[in-house]
Structure 1
């Protein structure tokens, strides 16, 4: 049976801009009486990579830092008195606040940004480690932490990678019972990052670990961790639940109009708040329509039957995105329509 060992590299000092990480990593390995061998994989926290590159931003303008690291907003929610955004980051993955982080900053009142090209940083470390050790085959994973859809809590994943096959694609093979495998592709890069995190932790100041026993995962260089990112038609979660509805009605997350209309809040909200946002969204595409809200009753008025139909359709969709529904009468007479609103 294959055996896996994971050794934390302790004693690495606070990393400063310009520090040479390879020397710090090898010193820590020597202090742990560990000699790197061909086939080893070093998992290194992105935090010390960012520190060595001097990727700092002023903590008082974290919002601007997040914007600078954002390709596209996927979802946004009010959390307390601030807006938290899930975005596609310039570093590649979809993450909360683009990975901009104020934790483990060595007491510095600033936030850290992710490397713009994590795969290139992983390759730089790999090449330098090979040169310093004389070895021929090493893997490097630059790890970071993120949450996942459908699952509570955070785990480490491969932000950057070099020298490993980040995906073990088993499609076209068979399982232990001889049945064909048609969808199974193991995210080896993420598994290595998560395994190393079991000894690195988040509060123990251990930013690196050596994983031994996964020689089968090594490659000459490998495709990099960006190969793990789903985008385009493969991305089934291009928007958050509420954002998908709002975007279909012309309200893109992250834009000023989304903030004007109101951003959904994490947790339970009353019907009035959700109804107010739905009405505001509906009116964006129906400027000549009047919508009057009286408790749980909404009256829609329009100068034409066509515009009335458009407005009611938009309102029904917007209500659905807020977890509400409208009881629409079968017969409509005139250009006014009265709707009963209730929880979906």
Structure 2
């Protein structure tokens, strides 16, 4: 039996992250200031954008020279800055472009961990600035969760979320790009058949109801009441085909 209810709480007025920092420390200071009562078993969903910023993964687009492939793709998708397209290619670590999916309004890319993301996780944050995803969001989620446990004594799980579009639908949803403490898959059995749900993406999408998209300024939410077994070894790569 699954639980009947969960609760989702937005972290309003969380400090804006604009440079490299210890995000776990920022989170704990915010909890103390706002008297936020983290409990064992809570799940923190954290937007990948503040993860990237806290890791200092800023890219000055003036340092990026588009390749012939990037310029060719720009001709097919003119709304995309060719420098961003080059970053997307770089993030897939395949300069041939074979790890890209392209349509007139969409560029997606497979990362080296097997995840497929819109723009390969590249996000433009200014006229000449972009951020990219860390290589290992699982490890960063672990570091944050373990520091919270060490300093606050609360055993929480972390799901790092990222906005993601689909080639067949308008708009965007949220998916998991990193996790710690929570198995990304939930398996149930009925009529002799094993059913598998990508539970980390369900949680990420639920968090997205309050986090919203660009400019909504809710980079973290807490999900309470979701029952799970704490799993130190689970990674987002476990969910990849």
**CA 1:226/1:2 → structure 2, altered by over 3 Å: closer, same or farther?**
same
Report which structure shows greater RCO (CA 8 Å, sep ≥6): 2
Scaled by the length of structure 1, the TM-score of the pair is 0.58
Candidates 59, 62, 75, aligned match of 2:61: 59
Q: Distance in 1 between matches of 2:166 and 2:136?
A: 22
> Counterpart of 2:140?
121
Query: Over aligned residues, Cα RMSD in angstroms?
Result: 2.1
Q: Distance in 1 between matches of 2:26 and 2:37?
A: 14
Decide which structure has the larger Cα Rg and report it.
Answer: 1
Q: Does 1:211 align with 2:223?
A: yes
Q: How does 1:180-199 map to 2 (within 5 A)?
A: 180-182=192-194, 184-199=195-210
1:73 and 1:85 in contact (8 A); partners too = no
> Counterpart of 1:340?
none
> Counterpart of 1:7?
9
Secondary structure of 2:99's counterpart equals strand
Candidates 215, 224, 242, aligned match of 2:235: 224
1:91 and 1:115 in contact (8 A); partners too = no
Scaled by the length of structure 2, the TM-score of the pair is 0.80
1:10 and 1:28 in contact (8 A); partners too = no
> Counterpart of 1:143?
161
Deviation digits for residues 300-322 of structure 1 (CA, Å, limit 9, x no counterpart): xxxxxxxxxxxxxxxxxxxxxxx
Deviation digits for residues 61-85 of structure 1 (CA, Å, limit 9, x no counterpart): 3232112101442422344xxxx53
Q: Does 1:42 align with 2:54?
A: no
Q: Distance in 2 between matches of 1:200 and 1:97?
A: 20
Q: Distance in 2 between matches of 1:19 and 1:162?
A: 20
Q: CA deviation at 1:44?
A: 0.5
Q: CA deviation at 1:156?
A: 0.6
Q: CA deviation at 1:18?
A: 2.8
Q: CA deviation at 1:34?
A: 2.2
- Count of aligned residue pairs for this structure pair: 214
1:11 and 1:28 in contact (8 A); partners too = no
Secondary structure of 1:146's counterpart equals strand
Q: Does 1:73 align with 2:92?
A: no
1:138 and 1:218 in contact (8 A); partners too = no
Q: Which runs of 5+ in 1 are unaligned?
A: 231-344
> Counterpart of 2:109?
87
Q: Distance in 2 between matches of 1:212 and 1:199?
A: 14
Q: CA deviation at 1:23?
A: 2.3
> Counterpart of 1:326?
none
Q: How does 1:297-308 map to 2 (within 5 A)?
A: none
Q: CA deviation at 1:31?
A: 4.6
2:137 and 2:160 in contact (8 A); partners too = yes
Q: Distance in 1 between matches of 2:178 and 2:56?
A: 18
Q: CA deviation at 1:20?
A: 1.5
Q: Which runs of 5+ in 2 are unaligned?
A: 63-82
Deviation digits for residues 139-175 of structure 1 (CA, Å, limit 9, x no counterpart): 00111011236444321111000000110112xx22x
Q: CA deviation at 1:129?
A: 1.2
Q: CA deviation at 1:197?
A: 1.2
